[in-house]
Amino acid sequence: MEEVHRWRGTEEERATRPRSIKTGQFAYFDRQLDRPDWRGRKVLDFGGNEGGLLLDPECVLDPADYYCLDVVPEALEEGRRRFPEAHWMHYDRYNCSFNPQGNPNEPIHDLGVAFDVIVAYSVFTHTTRAEMHDLVAQLRARLAPNGVLAFTFIDPHRNPLPDSWNVGALEWRLGRFRMTDPSIDVEGIVKRSEGSEWCALVDGTEFFPDSDGDGPPCMSYHVYYTVERMQAEFPDAEIRPPVNGEMQHCCVLRGGPGPLRRSAKPLQSSSFSPASPGRTTSDDAAGER
């Protein structure tokens, strides 16, 4: 079951929410950002849902420094219930899967905070390419001068978990869909994906190579970019491979408002490196995003 089903699915699917929360996002970004000193840092979790980042056992953030924006109000309510001292803001922006009733042009609210770190785990894997660029530009404008924005993406062709699977990430996803819909032509779609730099999968059946299909209202929506394509989308980004047994690559953009730039004074490294060994997550935890 995918994240969207936990909020927009059947009653039975929604009932699984308490026992299907993904954690590991904090440890993931901690490693992708080279273990910065998080103390006192203002962190925006864009598309942070119910705050899985704070629930991560490795999370060292003070909830009072944590801000979460999401399009699903029920998720924010859950987060607020667990961490009332954190900041939970509804963002009623259209998302074809998570919020098909939202406003496509809703700007990101000014929260009156310049963020040291903005993270988005598995958010731009569910938006159109145009939305990704619009939202990333708006998020960059919310960074403190030496802040950093890190968001995840999935390469359709690479196998991020060679110890667990022997297929690329798109084929793995299609295999999951075929468990509930045996008519899905996994091999045919994988063949059509060959050579594509980016692609979208709508409801597990409609496939758009080198396109996002314009994000039609749907239940599930997955957009993939190859590493090379994501680098071309954001030429100044640092692209990092998956860590901790997760399947998602990371795109790291440094610098605040204005032309994209690398930070002259990066976030200070904390004293508790070296990084812990990669954590192996289950297929569900790693993949059902």
Ligand X SMILES: C[S@@+](CC[C@H](N)C(=O)[O-])C[C@H]1O[C@@H](n2cnc3c(N)ncnc32)[C@H](O)[C@@H]1O
Number of residues lying near ligand X (CB under 6 A): 24
CB of 262 to ligand X, least distance (A): 25
Distances (CA, A) of 266 to 49, 120, 270: 28, 19, 12
The maximal CA–CA distance of the chain, rounded, in angstroms, is: 53
Residue (49 or 281) nearer to ligand X, CB: 49
Of 70, 116, 155, 246, the one binding ligand X (CB under 6 A) is 70
What binding mask, one character per residue, do residues 147-186 give for ligand X by CB under 6 A, x or -?
----------------------------------------
Question: Does the footprint of ligand X cover residue 244 (CB under 6 A)?
Answer: no
Query: Among all residues, whose Cβ is closest to ligand X?
Result: 47
Residue 126: which of 94, 172, 87 has the closest Cα? 94
Distances (CA, A) of 267 to 30, 55, 144, 254: 12, 23, 11, 10
Is 32 a binder of ligand X (CB under 6 A)?
no
Give the whole-angstrom CA distance, residue 182 versus residue 238: 39
Cα–Cα separations (whole angstroms), residue 181 to 62, 175, 176, 177: 43, 10, 9, 6
Number of Cβ within 10 Å of residue 166's Cβ equals 10
| Smallest distance from ligand X to CB 71, Å | 4
Q: Is 25 in the site for ligand X (CB under 6 A)?
A: yes
Give the footprint of ligand X on residues 196-225 (CB under 6 A). none
Q: How far is the CB of 97 from ligand X (least distance, A)?
A: 7
* Residue 48 contacts ligand X per CB under 6 A: yes
Q: Residue from 32, 122, 244, 248 that binds ligand X (CB under 6 A)? A: 122
Minimum CB separation from ligand X for residue 140, in Å?
Answer: 15
Distance, in Å, from the CA atom of 27 to the CA atom of 275, rounded to the nearest integer, reads: 10
Is 3 a binding residue for ligand X by CB under 6 A? The answer is: yes
CB count in 10 Å sphere of residue 187: 10
Give 34 or 134: the residue with its C-beta nearer to ligand X. 134
User: Rg for the chain (alpha carbons), in Å?
Assistant: 18
Report if residue 49 touches ligand X, rule: CB under 6 A.
Answer: yes
Residues 6+ apart with CB under 8 A from 88: 51, 68, 76, 77, 79, 80
| Binding map of ligand X across residues 96-115, x = CB under 6 A, - = no contact | --x-----------------
Binding of ligand X by 47 (CB under 6 A): yes
- Judged by the rule CB under 6 A, the positions of this chain that interact with ligand X are 3, 22, 25, 46-49, 52, 69-72, 75, 91, 93, 95, 98, 121-123, 126-127, 135, 289
